[in-house]
Amino acid sequence: MKAYINISPHIREGILEGLREYLQNELVKRCKKNSAYSLRSFARTLNLSHSALSEILNGKRKISEKNAIRIASQLGLSVQDLQAMQKHSHFSLGHIQFLHLSPEQQFEMSDWYYYAIWELCSLKNNKADKNWIAKALGIHPQQAQEAINRMLHLNLIHIKNGKLNKSKAELLDYTNSQQTTGTRKKLQKQFFEKALSAIDEIPYEQRHHSGMTMAIDAAKLNEAKELIKDFRRKLMKFLESGANNNSVYHLSVGLFPLSTDIIENKFKNKKEKKI
C-alpha cells in the first residue's frame, strides 16, 4: 500500500474522492442485498466509527491516506484498484461524467435557466441565439444573453456553427456539497417553484408529480439520501440514452419531516445525553 502514498498530490486527491464515491455506491449495493444492513454495519466492516463514516460519505470529512489504506485493506482493494478510482474523481456513471461546480461557479450561476441552457446544448436543433433560448425556456432574451456570456466566460460552453456546445463534462452537478448555502437554497427554491407551476400549466401526459407520506426512523436518513442519489443518476442515464433527445426536463426530489416538533425533540434529547 505504500506505493499509493508516493503518487502526485493532484492524482491522490482524485483517488480519495473516487474512494468516497465508491463507498457510497458500495453501501447502497449492500443495503439492496440485505434490508437489515445499515450504515453502522458498513462502519464495522471498515473498522470506522459510524459517525466518521457518515461524515465521509456526506463529504463533511476528507478521507486521510491512513484511513484510505485501512478501508482498502478491509474491502480487499489493491493499490491498482485505488489508482483506478482516480478516473472517477468527477463521478462517472457509465459514459456519463459529472462536473462538480465550485462555490464560486455556483454563485455566478445561481438561477435555474443556466442549468437548462447547459442541457439545451445536448439538443441537435439548438441555436446559440438569445431569442431562441428565451422562447424555449420562457425567459427574457436579455437573461438568455447574460447567461450565455457568463457560461462562455467560465469556459463551460462554446459556440460552433451557430450551435451551443458543452466544453467539459456531460452534466453539471450543484448537489455534491453538503453545505446549505444561500445560493443553493435559492436555486432549489426556483426548481421547486417551477415544479409547482407545472402542475397547473403542463399537461399530465408531459409531467409526473407524486409523493408518499411515511413514518420513518430518522437515523436512516443518510442511507436514504444515498439511495435517492443512486436513483436520480440511474434515471438520468436511462432518459438521456439514445439519439432523439428533444426536451429539457428537471427532476426534483424532496424528503423532509412533517412532524417537525417530534424530530427536533428527538435530536435535542440526543444532544443533551452527550453533555
How is the chain split into domains, by residue range?
2-89, 103-206
Q: Facing residues of 99 across strands?
A: 172
Looking at residue 110, its pLDDT comes to 83
What pLDDT shows up at residue 92? 45
Strand order in the sheet with 171-173: 92-93, 96-100, 171-173
Give CA angle at 121 (117, 127), nearest 5°. Answer: 85
| Residues 195/252, Cβ–Cβ less than 8 Å | yes
Q: Which residue has the cell 451551443?
A: 164
CA distances to 52, 87, 268, 272 from 275, in Å: 19, 43, 11, 5
pLDDT of residue 215: 94
3 φ/ψ angles, rounded to the nearest 5 degrees: -60, -30
Query: Would you say 46 and 30 are in contact if contact means Cβ atoms under 8 Å apart?
Result: no
Identical fold, 2-89 and 103-206: no
**Is 238 strand, coil or helix?**
helix
84-to-18, 39, 62, 79, 238 alpha-carbon distances in Å: 9, 25, 19, 9, 25
Question: What pLDDT digit, counting tens, does each position of 227-273 carry?
Answer: 998 898 889 888 988 788 999 999 999 999 999 765 555 555 555 55
Residue ranges in the chain modelled with pLDDT below 50: 1-11, 87-95, 177, 179, 274-275
Classify domain 103-206 at the CATH class level.
mainly alpha
93 touches 25 (CB < 8 A): no
Q: How many CA atoms lie within 13 A of 62 on its CB side?
A: 8
Q: What is the pLDDT of residue 234?
A: 87
pTM exceeding the 0.85 threshold for the entire prediction: no
Architecture of the domain delimited by 2-89 = Orthogonal Bundle (1.10)
Residue 50's pLDDT is 87
